[in-house]
Amino acid sequence: MPDPFTVRKLRWRDLDRVLEIERASFGADAYDRKLFADCLRAGEDLFLAVERGRIVWGYLMGCARGKRAELVSIAVDPAARGEGAASALMESALRRWKRRRIDRLSLMVKTANRQAETCYLKYGFRRVRRVRRYYEDGSDGWLMARNM
């Protein structure tokens, strides 16, 4: 049985690895280095890495405004999917937001991304509404939210 995943705050030295995971996960829709660097520089509210064996296998980025928070992005290396990395990230993020007394958490997900939607449903998110042409490629997205 492999070692368990651990979650920690993202560090500057993780940036190249995060970009690899981002490209492998989102292809042409991947965020660029500047966005991640800006978030790190600004001390983004919640920027986590999940690792096993000193290798980063995924990340989660979120931000809070008052009593509300948004899960901006989460991705796991395709080689580690289905092994609990996303769950470790989600559970850690939810605990951290709860400690900060966040009342409501929201996110956007492509309507075609059933795997991600299923994961979010597992963590208590519900569809709020369909947002037409939300993504740059013209795809629709689901606005999903959950109360904490």
Q: What percentage of the chain reaches a pLDDT higher than 70? A: 97
Q: Show me where the domains of the chain are located.
A: 6-104
**CATH architecture for segment(s) 6-104:** 3-Layer(aba) Sandwich (3.40)
67 contacts: CB under 8 Å, gap ≥ 6? 101, 102, 103, 104
Q: Say what the pTM is.
A: 0.90
pLDDT, average across residues 53-66: 92
Report the alpha-carbon distance of residue 40 to residue 66 in Å, rounded: 20
Closest-CA residue to 58 (of 28, 34, 26):
26
Summarize pLDDT for 25-46 with one digit per residue, the tens.
Answer: 988 888 899 888 888 887 656 8
